[in-house]
């Protein structure tokens, strides 16, 4: 469910950028910033990277209490909040452009910070609603985030994505993502 929500989000922002900026290529990618070896994890540059940096349980809701009161033995879906970092990974000498795209991300969520089936028909039917809140971190907190990621600082902004519901109904047959297609001449 996390992958579906974040893939949807990156496609929505890319579509918005294509329409507003009249560009053809995708500027937003879903990726870690560095790989296990500490190298940059994405191909190319001049991109906004969406990285999941934390998951927390939503504790302000009382679904479990309501189910116990009704005598139901069902477990309520787990409600989680995801903390997403939008980092500007741009070529050396393109710092100004990286700041522009961080501003575009801020403007995008100022324009649309709630996603539901009425305003976002492409939203997975298992996701009821997503709400985005800008998070303001102190310099020390931001330094800790970048240190824990094992990366050097890039211009970034962090949003909390609220209200993703997770239950066992999301588990389906597992099929790994297709990452490339190869032609094998030895197969007839």
Q: How many domains does the chain have?
A: 1
Query: Residue 37: what pLDDT?
Result: 87
Query: Residue 178: what pLDDT?
Result: 67
pTM of the model: 0.82
Per the document, the length of the chain is: 188
Residue numbers of the domain that contains 153: 2-170
Query: Residue 43: what pLDDT?
Result: 84
Question: Is residue 62 assigned to a domain?
Answer: yes
Question: Is residue 177 assigned to a domain?
Answer: no
Burial of 41: CB neighbours in 10 Å, binned 0-12, 13-18, 19+: middle
Query: Residue 169: what pLDDT?
Result: 56
Question: Is residue 181 assigned to a domain?
Answer: no
Query: Residue 177: what pLDDT?
Result: 65
Query: Residue 179: what pLDDT?
Result: 66
- Name residues of the chain where pLDDT drops below 70: 61-74, 167-188
Burial of 29: CB neighbours in 10 Å, binned 0-12, 13-18, 19+: middle
Question: Is residue 66 assigned to a domain?
Answer: yes
| CA angle 76–77–81, rounded 5-degree value | 135
Question: Is residue 10 assigned to a domain?
Answer: yes
Question: Is residue 56 assigned to a domain?
Answer: yes
Question: Is residue 145 assigned to a domain?
Answer: yes
Q: 116-136, pLDDT tens digit by residue? A: 999 999 999 888 899 999 999
Question: Is residue 34 assigned to a domain?
Answer: yes
């Amino acid at each position: 469910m996390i992958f579906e929500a974040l893939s949807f989000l990156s496609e929505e922002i890319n579509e918005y950028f294509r329409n507003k900026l009249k560009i053809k290529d995708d500027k937003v990618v879903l990726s870690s910033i560095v790989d296990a070896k500490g190298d940059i994890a994405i191909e190319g540059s001049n991109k906004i990277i969406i990285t999941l940096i934390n998951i927390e349980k939503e504790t302000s809701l009382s679904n479990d209490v309501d189910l116990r009161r009704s005598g139901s033995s069902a477990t309520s879906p787990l409600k989680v909040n995801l903390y997403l970092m939008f980092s500007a990974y741009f070529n050396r000498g393109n710092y100004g452009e990286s700041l522009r795209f961080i501003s575009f991300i801020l403007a995008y969520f100022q324009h649309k910070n709630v996603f539901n089936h009425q305003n976002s028909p492409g939203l997975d039917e298992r996701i009821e609603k997503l709400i985005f809140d800008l998070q303001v971190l102190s310099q020390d907190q931001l330094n800790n985030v970048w240190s824990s990621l094992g990366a050097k600082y890039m211009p970034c902004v962090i949003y909390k994505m609220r209200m993703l519901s997770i239950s066992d109904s999301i588990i389906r047959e597992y099929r790994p993502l297709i990452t490339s297609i190869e032609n094998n001449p030895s197969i007839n």
